[in-house]
Amino acid sequence: MAARATPPEGGHFITLAVDRIRQLVATSESFQVSSAFDPKRLEAEAFGASWEEPMQVVVRFSADQAPYVKEREWHPSQRLKDLPDGRVELTFTAGGEFEIVRWILGWGEAAEVVRPRRLRERVQSALRQALGRYGQWPL
């Protein structure tokens, strides 16, 4: 296994929205960039802007959405598998759980997380919360 880039001791990688920065202040703090730091690898392992430890994600999409899933690249590591009933299974390895959850939720009932279990539970929890907001009808 190749060495992973690691944040400074005790630190974490963060993603900044440059357009939100209002002020910068120069300090005397410094740090040494590790020779193992590989920004291209972080870019390849992230699902969007946030980097976290990569996980293997498997999502099944309904047959009516399969053509749309298959027509583009969602992540460089993706693999697609046509299922006998017309559904499609998308597998990729990436980090950025928050962004992955939001992306899956955007597919609504057309997507089902197969694994990892933690991701499936996060999507399920978000759907339960949404149902709690919409479950009382009429408003």
* Distance from the Cα of residue 84 to its chain's centroid: 27
Does the pLDDT of residue 39 top 50, yes or no?
yes
The pLDDT tens digits for 82-127 are: 999 999 999 999 988 999 999 999 999 999 999 999 999 999 999 9
Q: Which residues contact 87 (CB under 8 A, 6 or more apart)?
A: 60, 61, 62, 63, 66
| Residue matched to tokens 């980090």 | 95
Query: Which range (1-5, 9-13, 117-121) has the least confidence?
Result: 1-5
CB 57 within 8 A of CB 93: yes
What confidence score (pLDDT) does residue 93 get? 94
- Distance, in Å, from the CA atom of 68 to the CA atom of 96, rounded to the nearest integer, reads 22
CB 44 within 8 A of CB 77: yes
Please name each of the domains of the chain with its CATH number: 48-133 (3.30.70)
